[in-house]
């Protein structure tokens, strides 16, 4: 992109800006004119107290001037209106005009902001495009300079070869002419000499003296002729050498001139390349400096962020460690509370079942112990059979159904079975309550230890902390296989044996049993 394209681009941006400004102004003017039409209707309603309200819209050409004029006149009229309704309309007119002015200013500012953003984006794009064009131009100049060097070297080589070939051809042509002339002269001399010899032979009758004289004259003529020929040959050789020297001088001058021109072009090309390399080095150094500065800034910012992150991480690890310890302690306390609730439920159920067994025992052995419990008599009521006279409907006799040994044993077995059924669940629930009580103690102790261990470890050295943590791992993360203490829970088998002993002793003391045994022994005998 050259300077003409940049100028055209700037003109294009100006034209588009003017078009957008005109279009936005037309839109705003249309909105304002529409609002002015509404205001004109309001002003016509106020024509009773205004002499010529429509003259407001004929004195100005721009809608903003209309609004300013209407606003100033409305403010003046609002002070002079007599009716309250017209004052209210004037005030609404003022507010409407102010709103229109604010909307117009806001729309103008939005349009200018939007166009400035577009212009910034386009200028940024064109700057990037110019940078690409600059780099392309530098590359093109480098390629063109290298091509010009090659073309110049080829041209110089071609010119030197042409001049050298011309010189060779001219030297060969001169040499051929010299050879041709010398051959012609030799042939001519040979012919003349033969003609003279023939003439001498023809004139053999001439005296020897005359012939000798004639021969000497001819020989002198031949010598002169020969000297002339040699002089002509030397002249021809000198002219050829002069021509060769002149042509050689001209060729050398042309070659030297071409060499000077090539040297000047080479110097210009080297200067241009040096200038370009200097500019490129300066640009590269500036770019490198900017990149290094940006990298250093990014590194410094990264280091700051890293330091802040390290600080935050250390804080977070401390907070997380504290929270994890507190959370673990809290979880242990929660589990201890759960175990305590389970302990209470099992203990209450066990006590209820055992109280039922005690009540049943009292009811069973109340007669033997001499204890009268009326509200438990239904549990141990002795089955009886009454005989009624059908005529008089009176009780004749009452018989005890437990008088027989089998009926008494059955009655006793049923009550003892009920006692056992009440005692066994009670003992189970009490043992389970003891197990959950021991677990509750373990979890509560761990929760208290975890809550109190942090300040204790902070006062120790790191090596001591590691040793204590290793020892605590076995305590906190091991399976609790300790047996619960159930000494306070009664043993069912032991109590049953003792109960049976008591029953047997009571049976021995009962007189009815003695009478039964005597009767049985007599019957057997």
CB 245 within 8 Å of CB 121: no
Is the pLDDT assigned to residue 117 strictly greater than 50?
yes
Distance of CA 19 to the CA centre of its chain: 41
Cβ contacts of residue 107 below 8 Å, gap of 6+? 24, 27, 28
Question: What pLDDT is recorded for position 344?
Answer: 94
Contact 93, 69 (CB under 8 A): no
Q: Out of 128-137, 155-164, 190-199, 390-399, which region has the weakest mean confidence (pLDDT)?
A: 390-399
What residues contact 288, with CB distance under 8 A and at least 6 apart?
Answer: none
Higher pLDDT, 293 or 255: 293
pLDDT > 90: percent of the chain: 3
Percent of the chain with pLDDT over 70: 38
3-state secondary structure of 207: coil
By the 10 Å C-beta count (0-12 exposed, 13-18 middle, 19+ buried), 77 is classed as buried
Name the helix (H) or strand (E) containing 478.
none
Contact between residue 430 and residue 489 where contact means Cβ atoms under 8 Å apart? yes
| Closest residue by Cα to residue 74 from 108, 36, 102 | 36
- Residue 329: CB atoms within 10 A of its CB come to 19
Cβ neighbours of residue 113 under 8 Å, at least 6 residues apart?
none
pLDDT value at 9 more than 60: no
Structure confidence at residue 263 (pLDDT)? 76
Q: How far apart are CA 403 and CA 411, in angstroms?
A: 11
For residue 45, the model assigns a pLDDT of 52
For residue 398, what pLDDT is reported? 55
Position with higher pLDDT, 319 vs 315: 315
The predicted-structure confidence for 418-429, as pLDDT tens digits, reads as follows 777 888 888 889
Highest mean pLDDT among 200-204, 243-247, 445-449, 478-482: 445-449
- Cα 233–Cα 236–Cα 238 angle in degrees, nearest 5: 110
How far apart CA 410 and CA 387 sit, in angstroms, is: 24
pLDDT the model gives residue 403: 47
Residue that wins the pLDDT comparison between 211 and 243: 243
- Label residue 277 by pLDDT band (50, 70, 90): confident
Give the list of residues 6+ apart from residue 362 with CB closer than 8 angstroms, or none: 371, 373, 376
Segment among 13-17, 230-234, 481-485, 501-505 with least mean pLDDT: 481-485
When pLDDT is averaged across residues 245-263 and rounded to a whole number, the result is: 70
What digits encode the pLDDT tens for the residues 53-94?
444 444 444 445 555 555 555 555 454 444 555 556 656 666
Q: What's the average model confidence in pLDDT over 131-152?
A: 69
pLDDT beyond 90 at 228: no
Report CA-CA distances (Å) from 36 to 44, 59, 60, 95.
Answer: 12, 14, 12, 13
The pLDDT assigned to 81 comes to: 45
Q: Among 133, 126, 135, 129, which Cα is nearest to 280's?
A: 135
Q: What is the pLDDT of residue 303?
A: 82
Q: How many other C-beta atoms are found inside a 10 Å radius of the C-beta of residue 90?
A: 24
pLDDT in tens, 464-522: 777 777 776 666 665 555 555 555 555 655 666 676 677 667 656 555 554 455 455 55
Task: Decide: 362 and 438 in contact? Cβ < 8 Å.
Answer: no
Closest C-alpha to 422, from 372, 359, 366, 377 = 359
Task: Say whether pLDDT at 14 is over 60.
Answer: no
Angstrom CA distances, 448 to 211, 240, 354, 469, 501, stand at: 168, 129, 35, 16, 49
Bridge partner residues of 387 (DSSP):
397
Pairing type for strands 395-400 and 384-388 reads antiparallel
Q: In the predicted model, what is the mean pLDDT of residues 174-188?
A: 69
* Mean pLDDT of the chain, nearest integer: 67
| Spatial distance between the Cα atoms of 348 and 351, rounded to a whole number of angstroms | 5
Task: Work out the average pLDDT over 399-403.
Answer: 50
In this predicted structure, the answer to whether residue 278 has a pLDDT above a threshold of 50 is yes
* Residue that is written with structure tokens 């609790």 in the block: 480
CA distance 497 to 196: 190
How is the chain split into domains, by residue range?
3-147, 179-316, 321-524
State which H helix or E strand residue 241 sits in. helix 208-364
Q: Is the pLDDT of residue 340 over 90?
A: yes
Predicted pLDDT at 518: 47
Interval 395-415 mean pLDDT: 57
List Cβ neighbours of 427 (8 Å cut-off, separation of 6 or more). 350, 354, 489, 490, 491, 492
pLDDT exceeds 80 at position 337: yes
CA 212 to chain centre: 127
């Amino acid at each position: 992109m050259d300077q003409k394209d940049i100028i055209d681009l700037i003109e294009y941006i100006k034209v588009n800006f003017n078009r957008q400004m005109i279009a936005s102004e037309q839109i705003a003017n249309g909105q304002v004119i529409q609002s002015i039409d509404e205001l004109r209707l309001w002003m016509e309603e106020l024509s009773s107290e205004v002499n010529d309200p429509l003259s407001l819209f004929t004195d100005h050409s721009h809608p903003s001037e209309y609004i300013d004029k209407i606003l100033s006149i409305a403010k003046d009229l609002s002070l002079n209106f007599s009716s309250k309704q017209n004052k209210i309309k004037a005030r609404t007119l003022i507010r409407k005009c102010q709103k229109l002015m604010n909307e117009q200013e806001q729309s103008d500012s939005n349009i200018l902001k939007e166009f400035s953003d577009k212009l910034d984006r386009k200028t940024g794009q064109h700057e990037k495009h110019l940078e690409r064009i600059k780099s392309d131009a530098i590359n093109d100049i480098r390629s063109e300079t290298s091509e010009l060097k090659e073309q110049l070297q080829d041209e110089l080589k071609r010119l030197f070869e042409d001049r050298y070939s011309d010189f060779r051809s001219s030297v060969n042509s001169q040499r051929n002419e010299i050879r041709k002339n010398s051959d012609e002269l030799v042939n001519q001399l040979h012919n003349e000499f033969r003609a003279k010899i023939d003439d001498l032979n023809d004139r053999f009758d001439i005296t020897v003296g005359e012939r000798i004289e004639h021969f000497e004259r001819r020989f002198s003529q031949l010598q002169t002729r020969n000297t002339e020929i040699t002089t002509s040959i030397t002249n021809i050789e000198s002219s050829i050498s002069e021509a060769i020297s002149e042509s050689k001088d001209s060729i050398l001058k042309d070659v030297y001139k071409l060499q000077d021109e090539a040297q000047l072009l080479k110097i210009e090309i080297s200067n241009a390349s040096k200038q370009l390399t200097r500019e490129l080095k300066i640009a590269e150094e500036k770019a490198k400096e900017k990149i290094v500065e940006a990298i250093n800034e990014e590194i410094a910012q990264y280091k700051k962020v890293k330091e802040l992150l390290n600080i935050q991480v250390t804080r977070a690890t401390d907070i997380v460690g504290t929270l994890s310890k507190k959370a673990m302690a809290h979880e242990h306390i929660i589990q201890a509370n759960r175990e305590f609730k389970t302990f209470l439920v099992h203990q209450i159920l066990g006590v209820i079942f055992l109280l039922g067994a005690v009540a049943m025992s009292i009811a069973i052995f109340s007669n033997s112990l001499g204890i009268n419990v009326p509200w438990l008599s239904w549990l141990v009521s002795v089955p009886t059979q009454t005989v009624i006279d059908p005529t008089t409907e009176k009780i004749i006799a009452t018989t005890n159904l437990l008088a027989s040994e089998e009926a008494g044993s059955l009655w006793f077995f049923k009550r003892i079975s009920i006692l056992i059924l009440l005692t066994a669940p009670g003992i189970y629930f009490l043992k389970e309550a003891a197990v959950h009580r021991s677990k509750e103690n373990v979890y509560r102790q761990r929760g208290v230890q975890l809550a109190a261990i942090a300040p204790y470890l902070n006062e120790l050295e790191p090596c001591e902390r590691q040793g204590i943590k290793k020892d605590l791992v076995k305590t906190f993360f091991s399976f609790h296989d300790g047996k619960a203490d159930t000494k306070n829970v009664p043993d069912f088998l032991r109590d049953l044996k003792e109960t049976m002993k008591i029953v047997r002793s009571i049976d021995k003391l009962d007189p009815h049993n003695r009478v039964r045994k005597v009767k049985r022994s007599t019957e057997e005998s």
